[in-house]
Amino acid sequence: MLSPEVLPPTTDEIKNLDIMDIASMNNLSYLFKESLSKYVKIDPFTFSDPFTFSDPLYQNKPEDLKYFLIADKEDVKRIISIVIIEVKHLDEVPLDKIANDFLKLEVSRQTAKELKSELMPKETRNFYSFRTNGNVIGYAMFAFQICGQH
């Protein structure tokens, strides 16, 4: 469900997540990853964060990408995943089907980066690349990767 009327959480709201929120996010992120993997092949290792563009393997420009938050329908501050998809491949990743049980919020690159930094303070290698037909078409970070907050 794409939710334009729902605003993404602020970094202050993310700072106030409690252990129950993180546990719920963790569980839901495994469910979301399982749904996503029905449509794309998720690589087994993490990739450079698609915000820095410093990895020589990374060929995209910021304008070539769309940024999405996948969140719990019951509480938008419970971010389940940050998904980044190449614009030219949006049709190959049916997020409306995949994220049907969750909120899907399209956000700016800056908002995604700020929320990622709050949830995952480690500077790089937080995103799994995913592909179709052998080509990387997007990146996803899942809440089950959270090991600390700012």
pLDDT in tens, 26-43: 999 999 999 999 999 999
Q: Backbone dihedral region of 31: left (phi > 0), alpha (psi from -120 to 50 degrees) or beta?
A: alpha
Structure tokens at 91: 């049709």
Say whether pLDDT at 97 is over 70: yes
Q: Write down the pLDDT at residue 79.
A: 95
Distance in angstroms (rounded) separating the CA atoms of residues 17 and 9:
11
Per domain, the residue ranges of the chain are 11-145
Distance in angstroms (rounded) separating the CA atoms of residues 46 and 69:
18
Distance in angstroms (rounded) separating the CA atoms of residues 65 and 148:
27
Q: Write down the pLDDT at residue 99.
A: 80
| pTM of the full structure | 0.88
pLDDT one-digit tens code per residue, 117-129: 888 877 778 899 9
